[in-house]
Amino acid sequence: MKNNTRLAAFFPAAVLCCTLLLVQCPAALADGPAVGSLFPDIAFAVPERSEDRQYLKLTGKGTFTIQQIPVPLVIVQVFSMYCPHCQKDAPRTNELFRKLNDHPKLKDTVRLMGIGIGNSAYEVDFFRKTYNISFPLFPDGEFVIHKRIGEVRTPHFLVVQHTSKGAEIVYSRSGAIPNLDEFIDTIGRRLGQ
């Protein structure tokens, strides 16, 4: 009888933990926007950090859209500070950032940014400092952006290319990028480099 009592006491806590994981690391949700669709016209706050503004080639204050980043391709990582997969993948995403910056042809034509789903500015900054993230990160504390991009799982990677149709999604994947070198080669081929 003692074991049943312990199990009964444990069950509500287990359900609550699983629910929080699904909310903060939405692995059971949609696969994301389809390749060929357009990235929504979302306004992001121009970063306060000067290195982020310089990296994204933005000037002034206010807001900007992905279409206003003056490079052909923008890689968007969708993450959550609370997602254990995002935490585990942070060093590889940092490696992707370094490889792009070291690439002689892609360093000026591709940018990487992150969106912290369900994360406040404080939580995004905590994630940045904890994992030494050098690329710009943006909060989405109220899940507004998350809803607009199809409630993707975290981590999720989107590659957005400026085309005659607009900001076209040319890559959409939930989970870590399997092979960074192949991914970078694919991006280079897409840009004809």
- The token pair at 192 is 């004809």
Question: Taking Cα atoms as reference points, which of 64, 78, 70 lies closest to residue 177?
Answer: 78
| Residue 193 near residue 108 (C-beta atoms within 8 A) | no
Supply the pLDDT for residue 129. Answer: 97
Of 71, 97, 107, the C-alpha closest to 157 is: 97
Q: At what angle do helices 180-190 and 84-102 cross, to 10 degrees?
A: 50
| Its pTM surpasses 0.75 | yes
Q: Tell me, what's the pLDDT at 112?
A: 98
User: What mean pLDDT do residues 169-187 have?
Assistant: 95
Across 5-19, average pLDDT: 44
H or E stretch covering 106: none
Judged on CB neighbours under 10 Å (0-12, 13-18, 19+), 12 is exposed
* Tens digits of residue pLDDT in 119-157: 999 999 999 999 999 999 999 999 999 999 999 999 999
The single-letter code of the amino acid at 127 is F
pLDDT digits (tens, 9 = 90+) for 41-94: 999 999 999 999 999 999 889 999 999 999 999 999 999 999 999 999 999 999
Take residue 125 and report the two structure tokens written for it. Answer: 């900054």
